[in-house]
Amino acid sequence: MPGSDARRADPLLDGLDATQREAVTVDAGPLAILAGAGSGKTRVLTRRIAWQASRARIDPDHVLTLTFTRKAAGELVARLGRLGVRRQVTAGTFHAIALAQLRRRCADHNRPMPGVLSRKARILAPMLPGRGAAATVAAAEVASEIEWAKARLLRPDAYEVAVARAGREPPKPAAEIASLYERYELERRHRGVVDFDDLIWWCADALESDGEFQATQRWRFRHLFVDEFQDVNPAQLRLLRAWLGDRPDLCAVGDADQAIYGFAGADPAYLTDFARHFGGATVVRLGSNYRSSPQVVAAATALLADGGGPRPRIGTSKPAGPTPTFVDYPDDEAEAIGVVRGLRREHGPNRPWSAMAVLYRTNAQSARFEEALGRDGIPFRVRGATRFLERPEVRAALERVARTDKVGPGRPFAAHLGDLTAEAAEASEEQREHVDALVRLGHEYLAADGGPGSVDGFRAYLDVALRGNDDDGTGRDAVELLTFHRAKGLEFDAVFVTGLERGLVPISHADTPAERGEERRLLYVALTRAERALHLSWARHRKLGARTVDRKPSPWLE
């Protein structure tokens, strides 16, 4: 057919496989593009926008593309420019677009825009017992629950029932969280400010109640594209529907196998049941992985198949790579040393440090690797996370030790570590993990010091032991340290996936089938970050504070 020949000759379709071409050219809406790991998701999304614009099916000036990070939005616009889309496509996060529209609406009505609260903890901290960093940690935990509630469109009076139905375990009793949520809302309104979650609610309210505002925004944005659709939550879906109205011009791109934000309120069913949520929808599935070697793809798909569903058929055109390695170490210190040696082996003239990453399930695990890499002189950065010593619970613990030391100078340093161990037993799981890691470092300091130790000596030891962290965004050649969550969307030539033990993978508090399913998908995300080499490891013993506990391998690797 002449039309088919013209499509094949179109430079915007160069390098695309048959299903990618279909996703780019199909004249359908609503459209869902199911794009697995490494399938060229961003490439297909940008090519679709450019191709549709080149055929005058869409007007770039009236395109709204929604992403989940500012970086992703910037990269998308840059790619479109390289594809010849010279007119401005609007791209941004749900929150950024909502804020811009609300600012314009306030200006049109000659009303001041309320201030936007950057941190809920500023309002919540005075409502909670304690002071300093400890209160900040508690406030952050409550803030996370409020964010989950707002993402799920829950007001304070509905929170307690919803938590019970979801099988969610909040950091405090649900009734107490609901009360704090209500007090927070009252204080927020009293101050005349909104938080980031309110922007989504407020913009949807305005679109639903203000016909003029609705007409203006729907005229401005006629073609909607949403990236990472599996991460959309109910509040965002409500806003998306308010922008869309009864029009079919929606293209959603995502991968349900990478749905890892259910704990924050996301609902991957909006993608998996796309045709039910958006009548008359067309669904195109991209079935090839262009990132990873056949060996990496086989390991990742085996993990998904072990979840009880059909084994997904994922092709790859990459050349064969090494078989993934799986090493069990005697303890977590040996694991860190082994990973450092592995990084040394992988490093070479054609494989810089920045081509490698060390992944772990929880932030607390980074301390071991920060220490080992710093000791070995390998440059590293903790991507997208707070350095171990800057984490609120670690700062709070060090502040408590310093205060106690001032009251009772000369007290043996080991006694301070005993206090921290006792306090950690009463803390939340995440706080306990970080304090346990600090206590472990304290015992290592005592062993290295050879004397009674001191608070000042310990701080100096930490500064040296954890040296080498470079998270300044300069692009320096350095190994990346990051959690499974933070690794999403990234890719590396060689990846070390560590701590694959029961209690970490899956995490110990993943009790429900839904939570365990999300943990499995999280591991899938970690495995599929690897392009060529994949190294898996676990420790038979792990030091938690002053205790050494026996570990078993993750059930998904047995």
In which domain, by residue range, is 451 found?
A: 389-464
Name, in order, each residue with C-beta under 8 angstroms of 92's C-beta and a sequence gap of 6 or more: 65, 66, 67, 70, 73, 100
For a pLDDT cut of 90, what percent of the chain falls above it? Answer: 63
Please report the pLDDT score of residue 470 as a whole number.
Answer: 43
User: Are residues 7 and 91 located together in one domain of the fold?
Assistant: yes
pLDDT tens by residue, 270-317: 999 999 999 999 999 998 999 999 999 999 988 887 655 555 567 787
Question: Which one is predicted more confidently, 558 or 18?
Answer: 18
User: Are residues 540 and 479 located together in one domain of the fold?
Assistant: yes
Asked if residue 428 has pLDDT above 80, the reply is no
Asked if residue 347 has pLDDT above 80, the reply is yes
Confidence of residue 396 (pLDDT cuts 50, 70, 90): confident
Amino acid (one-letter) located at 162 = A
Q: For residue 544, give the nearest of 446, 385, 424, 388 by alpha carbon.
A: 424
Whether 279 is covered by a domain: the verdict is: yes
Instruction: For residue 237, give the CATH number of its domain.
Output: 3.40.50.300
User: Are residues 383 and 402 located together in one domain of the fold?
Assistant: no
pTM, full prediction = 0.83
Q: Are 473 and 352 in contact (CB under 8 A)?
A: no
Whether 517 is covered by a domain: the verdict is: yes
Please report the pLDDT score of residue 435 as a whole number.
Answer: 84
- 547-550/541-544 β-pairing: antiparallel
Please report the pLDDT score of residue 432 as a whole number.
Answer: 78
Asked if residue 496 has pLDDT above 90, the reply is yes
Choose the weakest-confidence range: 334-343, 381-390, 436-445: 381-390
Q: Say how many C-beta atoms besides its own lie within 10 A of residue 318's C-beta.
A: 18
Q: Of 191, 212, 242, which residue constitutes the final position of a domain?
A: 191
pLDDT tens by residue, 55-102: 989 999 999 999 988 788 888 988 999 999 977 888 889 998 999 899
For a pLDDT cut of 70, what percent of the chain falls above it? Answer: 91
Asked if residue 358 has pLDDT above 90, the reply is yes
Confidence of residue 215 (pLDDT cuts 50, 70, 90): very high
Q: Are 66 and 244 in contact (CB under 8 A)?
A: no
Q: Of 289, 314, 345, which residue constitutes the final position of a domain?
A: 289
Question: Which one is predicted more confidently, 71 or 351?
Answer: 351
Please report the pLDDT score of residue 160 as a whole number.
Answer: 97
Asked if residue 471 has pLDDT above 50, the reply is no
User: Are residues 208 and 141 located together in one domain of the fold?
Assistant: no
Confidence of residue 369 (pLDDT cuts 50, 70, 90): very high
Please report the pLDDT score of residue 336 as a whole number.
Answer: 97
Q: Find the DSSP H helices in 154-273.
A: 156-166, 174-191, 196-209, 211-220, 234-244, 269-272
Whether 479 is covered by a domain: the verdict is: yes
User: Are residues 381 and 499 located together in one domain of the fold?
Assistant: yes
Whether 127 is covered by a domain: the verdict is: yes
Phi/psi at 120 (5° precision)? -60, -30
Q: How far is CA 80 from the centre of its chain?
A: 25
Please report the pLDDT score of residue 431 as a whole number.
Answer: 74
Please report the pLDDT score of residue 449 as a whole number.
Answer: 60
Confidence of residue 13 (pLDDT cuts 50, 70, 90): very high
Confidence of residue 474 (pLDDT cuts 50, 70, 90): very low
What's the chain's average pLDDT?
A: 89
Whether 158 is covered by a domain: the verdict is: yes
Confidence of residue 456 (pLDDT cuts 50, 70, 90): confident
Please report the pLDDT score of residue 448 as a whole number.
Answer: 62
User: Are residues 301 and 381 located together in one domain of the fold?
Assistant: yes
Q: In angstroms, what CA-CA distances link 431 with 120, 136, 481? A: 19, 12, 20
The tally of domains found in the chain comes to: 4
As a whole number, mean pLDDT of residues 477-491 equals 94
Gap between the Cα atoms of 142 and 178, Å rounded: 10
Please report the pLDDT score of residue 473 as a whole number.
Answer: 43
Whether 111 is covered by a domain: the verdict is: no
Whether 353 is covered by a domain: the verdict is: yes
Please report the pLDDT score of residue 207 as a whole number.
Answer: 98
Please report the pLDDT score of residue 89 as a whole number.
Answer: 87
User: Are residues 529 and 458 located together in one domain of the fold?
Assistant: no
Q: For residue 39, give the nearest of 278, 222, 312 by alpha carbon.
A: 312
- 356-360/547-550 β-pairing: unpaired
Q: DSSP state, 457? A: H
Q: Of 445, 464, 483, which residue constitutes the final position of a domain?
A: 464
- 31-35/250-254 β-pairing: parallel
What is the strand order of the sheet 63-67 is part of? 90-93, 63-67, 223-226, 250-254, 31-35, 282-286
Considering just the CA atoms, what is the radius of gyration of the chain in Å?
25
Gap between the Cα atoms of 291 and 284, Å rounded: 20
User: Are residues 14 and 59 located together in one domain of the fold?
Assistant: yes
Q: What are the strands, taking DSSP E only, across 268-391?
A: 282-286, 288-289, 315-316, 325-329, 356-360, 380-382
Whether 487 is covered by a domain: the verdict is: yes
User: Are residues 68 and 205 located together in one domain of the fold?
Assistant: yes
Highest mean pLDDT among 131-140, 229-238, 415-424, 548-557: 229-238
User: Are residues 82 and 132 located together in one domain of the fold?
Assistant: no
User: Are residues 94 and 149 located together in one domain of the fold?
Assistant: no
Asked if residue 38 has pLDDT above 70, the reply is yes
Long-range contacts of range 502-508, CB-CB < 8 Å, 24 or more positions apart? 502/551, 502/552, 502/553, 502/554, 502/555, 503/551, 504/360, 504/361, 504/362, 504/365, 504/554, 505/361, 505/554, 505/556, 506/554, 506/555, 506/556, 507/361, 507/362, 508/429
User: Are residues 353 and 427 located together in one domain of the fold?
Assistant: no
